Amino acid sequence: MKGYKLILLFLFCCIMSITLSAQDREQLEQERMQVIESIEATDDLIASSEADRQKGIATLVALRGQIDQRNTLLNNIKQSISAAEFEIEFNLAILDSLTQRVKSIKDQYAILLRSKYVRRLIGSKWITIFSTSNINKAFLRWNYYRQFDTYRESKIKEIESIQKIVAQKNKEIKKHAIENSNLIQEQQQQNSELQKRIEQQNELIKELQKDKTILQSQLLVIKEARESLNQAIESRVINELSGVKISSDGSKSNESNPVIVKGKVILPITNGYIENFSISDEDKTSTISFAVAKGARVISIASGRVVSVKDVSGFGRMIILQHGDYYSVYAKMNNVIVSVGNRVEKNTVLGSVDSTENKLHFELWKDKVRLDANKWIKE
């Protein structure tokens, strides 16, 4: 009697463990998907931040190129001004020399006039009378002075023209200097803003990388927990299959005309799509979750026999069909319209999806070994 109680206690613990494991597995699966979405969003944000940083660097390089061009233009203008100033100084030196020569000639001419003229009084006027030789010399000196004065005036006009050009160049230099100063201030402001943005983006990237590391660690923990729950559910299905009675007419599949062919298995739902599938790293098997519309009908993937219909905590109602050596598992169902022992054909409606989640859990087995169902589904 005592041994019987221990056995009952052990069975009760096993059932509770399996039930809790199924619920935990579903919760961990949802957490795993959320973590994966967070990691993908983090990767996208890191890529966007890196693209913005590269764009800012390209803008900075372009601004530096514009500043270099302005500096080159400013240096050329300064060189032109230096050459013009040198030319002005040279012409001023020539002008000073010519002025001194003119002054000397004027002085000599005045001395000559004072020493050579003869004054005679005719009526009430003084008339200066020159000899023929003196007049010729005076005319030659006067003519030379007139030509020299013309040359001097032309040089003065040339210097004035150069001074106007220099003044215009100075205005252009001041204008370019103001523009260059504004451009430098704008570039410095943009550099400062860009540097702040780069620093902010670098900080954001560091934080995102930290978050990604944390999420990856959480994903690893969830993956390990999911694998352990997967093993618990696998043992539950194996226990169910162990209690299945193999039918006399379909215990073995016909190898020449198999019921289930890899890559040609139809979808077990009338409408919907594969939302996600999880793969075991050890045996490379998978389970599939289908996202379906509310109340979508579940159909048999091939002809066979209903061997199990049970309520499983965390998975709703679960149906197991036998197709020769193969077994198909349908979970998270309600409104099941078949019962154990019923023969079903391909596309036979088995029931509808649980309306609380609108998801169908599907697995494919052979001889108590779970297969990679994703590779058997027809594309």
Is the pLDDT at 333 greater than 60? The verdict is yes
Query: Are residue 30 and residue 146 in the same domain, yes or no?
Result: yes
Query: 């240096």: which residue's tokens?
Result: 75
Q: How many whole angstroms separate alpha carbon 351 and alpha carbon 334?
A: 7
Residue type, position 125, single letter? K
In this structure, the answer to whether residues 40 and 171 fall within a common structural domain is yes
45 with 159, same domain: the answer is yes
201 lies in the same domain as 276 = no
When pLDDT is averaged across residues 154-176 and rounded to a whole number, the result is 81
Residues 60 and 201 in one domain: yes
Together in a domain, 194 and 117: yes
* CATH number for the domain harbouring residue 116: 1.10.287.1490
Query: Which among 189, 351, 184 has a CA at the least distance from the CA of 270?
Result: 351
Cα 40 to the center of its chain, rounded Å: 14
Domain boundary (211, 240, 263) is at 211
**Tokens, residue 293:** 């519309």
Residues 169 and 287 in one domain: no
Cα distance between residue 107 and residue 94, in whole Å: 20
Range of the domain at 294: 250-376
Examine the domain organization and report whether 196 and 321 are in the same domain. no
Do residues 73 and 126 both lie within one domain? yes
Q: Which amino acid is at 193?
A: E
**Judgement on whether residues 310 and 184 belong to the same structural domain of the protein:** no
Q: How far apart are CA 376 and CA 379, in angstroms?
A: 9
Model confidence over 247-260: pLDDT tens digits?
544 444 443 445 77
Q: Which residues have a Cβ under 8 Å from the Cβ of 60 and sit 6 or more positions away? A: 190, 191, 194
For 326, counting Cβ atoms within 10 Å of its Cβ (0-12 exposed, 13-18 middle, 19+ buried), the class is buried
The residue from 211, 237, 272 where one domain ends is 211
Domain harbouring 256, CATH code? 2.70.70.10
* 78 and 173 Cβ atoms separated by less than 8 Å: yes
Within the chain, residue ranges assigned H as helices are 2-116, 132-242, 373-376
Does the residue 348 lie in any domain? yes
Q: How many independent structural domains does the chain possess?
A: 2
**Helix crossing, 132-242 with 2-116: angle to 10°?**
180
Helix/strand/coil percentages in the chain, nearest 5 = 60, 20, 20
Least-confidence region, from 74-88, 266-280, 317-331: 266-280
- Which pLDDT band, with edges at 50, 70 and 90, does 367 fall under? confident
In this structure, the answer to whether residues 270 and 337 fall within a common structural domain is: yes
**In Å, what is the CA distance from 190 to each residue of 56, 58, 181?**
9, 12, 14
Q: Is residue 145 part of a domain?
A: yes
Domain membership of residue 194 (yes or no) is: yes
* Same-domain status, 37 and 169: yes
What is the dihedral sign for C-alpha 33, 360, 363, 336? positive
**Rounded Cα gap, residues 91 and 14, in angstroms:** 113
Residue-wise pLDDT for 189-206, tens only, equals: 887 887 888 888 788 888
Within 10 A of 335 (CB to CB), how many other CB atoms are there? 14
Assigned domain for 303 exists: yes
Mean pLDDT of the 271-280 span: 56
Confirm whether 234 is domain-assigned. Answer: no
Whether 83 is in a domain gets the answer: yes
Establish if 306 belongs to a structural domain: yes
**196 neighbors 60 (Cβ within 8 angstroms):** no
Give the tens place of pLDDT for each residue, 12-49: 555 555 555 556 666 766 777 777 777 777 777 777 77
Tell whether the model's pLDDT for residue 300 goes beyond 90: yes
What is the rounded CA–CA span in Å between residue 259 and residue 364?
A: 13
For residue 168, give the amino acid letter: Q
Residue type, 85: E
* Domain membership flag for residue 61: yes
Domain boundary among 181, 211, 241: 211
Position 137 scores a pLDDT of 63
